[in-house]
Structure formats: structure tokens, C-alpha cells
Amino acid sequence: MDKSREKQGIRLQKYLAQAGVSSRRKAEESIQAGRVKINGRVVTELGVRVTSEDKVEFDGQKVHQTEHLVYILLYKPAGVMTTTDDPQGRRTVMDLIEKRSARVYPVGRLDYDTSGLLLLTNDGQLANWLMHPRSGVTKYYEAVVQGRVSQEDILLLSQGVELDGIKTAPAIVKLLGTDGTTSRVLLILHEGRNRQVRRMLELIGHSCLDLTRTKYGPLTLRGLRPGQWRFLYEDEVSALQERHELPIRIKRVRSHRRR
Ligand code: URA
């Protein structure tokens, strides 16, 4: 790679992430696996920079830098996979949103049986940051669990319980109600560990019957029913970006102005 190119452009993994191909970390793996070409030549180094003059291919397909950043808020129903492609042919969140001109990707994951708020975007920079543990984005979950949850259970959950040998971070946990057979619990978390809410509840002896994510950072499900989606409003995109101290973008954003 010539020296002048190394000084300009952006790093290949960032270019791929911004184009919505995958997260930056996954893009690094793909580069090292030889799946990426620049101007017809396979590149396996991570430091290489590309400019708009370069032709970048991923698995033989030309990668287009995204002009429109697209942000979609989906009310994921239960019984749908959070993935772009399910090898077992189950329904995915992509089946629920109309074919978009830009490819969007889910930001994080909700389990197959979990419903609620899922953000999808082709803004790789924002998505990667929101999924990073340091972003600490606030997530609200409402769970219906088996049995009567006690105040001691609530205290335990809010102080943190051990999952895979690591204590969960302090959380806000509230008992919303119980009829003696089942209870309704609100959990406000800043973490996003695998099946975290279900495992936390299981650990204190209350298996989860139903789980919904009702809030993600500044975003809520207001106005949507399960299976429905909408573009984010401009002020919601700004709130996500500002809250996370990302540089203000000059690119055109596909979002809606509030009326
Ligand atoms: N916690 C879970 O257990 N499942 C989800 O889908 C999200 C958070």
C-alpha cells in the first residue's frame, strides 16, 4: 500500500462499519479472514486507510458508503429472531421492516421470546458505541415472573447478583404488582449481558414468563404496537448522539421532523 494513502482516508474497518457492513470488531475479523478487497486486491492488514476513490469489496460485493443514515425503532414481538439472517429460516426482525434502500442492522439483541424496543440502523459508529459496555445506555425491562416477588428479592436484584462469576452492576428494580401467583417487575439496567434479565430473575427463584423492553436511552415504544416500526425523529437521533458525545454529523439523516 503506498505511503501517501496511509496518511489520508479512514481505516478500513471504520469504513466497513460506517457503510453498515458489520460492527468494527466483526469487520476486523473479516479483514483478517481475507474477505475484503481494496481495488481488486485482498487486504488482511488492519491499519490500511481508504478514501472515496477506492473500490472496496466485501465477499465480492462492492461496498457503498452510506449517504443516508437510517434509524428505525421497531416494536419487536416475541417469536422473532434478532438477526439479519437465520440459518434455520425463522422469522427475523428484518422480515418486519419494509425493504429499505440502505441495509440496517439491529443494535444489540433481544431474545427470541423477548418483545420490545429494538433500534436498527446503518450508522455503524453510533451502533458500535451504543453496544459498547462503556456507553452505559439505560434500558427499561418489564418482566412477568412466576411467584410472589418479595422486597428482599428486589433488594438482591438491585444490589447485584453473580452471573458467570461476575456481579451485575447496581440496578433500579421495582415491584409493580403481584397477585400471589405471578409478579410484575421493572428493571432499569445499564448493562446488556447475555439473557441478563431472565438469568437474574431465575437466580432468585422466579422464572420469567414474559419480558418486554419498554425503553432504550431516550426512546420509548409510545404509539407502536408489536410488529410496528417507525423512523426516529430528528430530535431522538440528536439525543442519542449528544447523550453519547458523538461528533455532530453533517450527513443527511433519514428521520422525521416532529409535527
Ligand atoms: N435480558 C434478557 O434476559 N433477554 C433479553 O432479550 C434482553 C435482556
Residue 14 identity (one-letter amino acid) = K
Q: What is the mean pLDDT of the chain?
A: 88
Test site for ligand 1: of 75, 117, 195, 216, most ligand atoms within 8 A of the Cβ: 195
Q: Looking at the whole model, is its pTM more than 0.85?
A: no
Assign 183 to helix, strand or coil. Answer: strand
Spatial neighbors of 233 by CB under 8 A, at least 6 apart, are: 255, 256, 257, 258
Q: What is the CATH number of domain 3-62?
A: 3.10.290.10
Active-site residue identified among 2, 86, 95, 111: 111
pLDDT tens digits for range 20-32: 787 778 889 999 9
Is the minimum distance from the CB of 110 to ligand 1 under 6 angstroms? Answer: yes
210 part of the active site? no
Q: Is the pLDDT of residue 211 over 80?
A: yes
Cβ burial, residue 184 (10 Å; 0-12/13-18/19+)? middle
196 ligand 1 Cβ < 6 A: yes
Choose the CATH number for 138-216 among 3.40.50.10490, 3.40.50.2300, 3.40.1190.20, 3.30.70.1560. Answer: 3.30.70.1560
Condensed to tens digits (0 to 9), the pLDDT of residues 49-69 reads: 988 788 999 999 888 776 578
Mean pLDDT over 86-99 rounds to 89
Domains 68-134+218-254 and 138-216 share a fold: yes
User: Does 173 or 251 have the greater pLDDT score?
Assistant: 173
Q: Is 50 helix (H, G, I), strand (E, B) or coil?
A: strand
Measured over the CA atoms of residue 75, residue 81, residue 86 and residue 88, the dihedral's sign is: negative
Q: Where are the domains of the chain?
A: 3-62, 68-134+218-254, 138-216
Query: Is the pLDDT assigned to residue 9 strictly greater than 80?
Result: no
3-state SS class at 227: coil
Q: What is the CA radius of gyration of the chain?
A: 21
Q: What CATH number does the domain located at 68-134+218-254 have? A: 3.30.70.580
- At position 139, the amino acid (one-letter code) is K
pLDDT band at 251 (very low <50, low <70, confident <90, very high): very low
pLDDT score of 80 more than 90: yes
How far separated are the first and last CA of the chain, in Å rounded? 50
User: What is the pLDDT at residue 67?
Assistant: 59
User: What CA–CA distance (Å, rounded) separates 68 from 74?
Assistant: 19
211 CA from centroid of ligand 1 (Å): 7
171 CB less than 6 Å from ligand 1? Answer: no
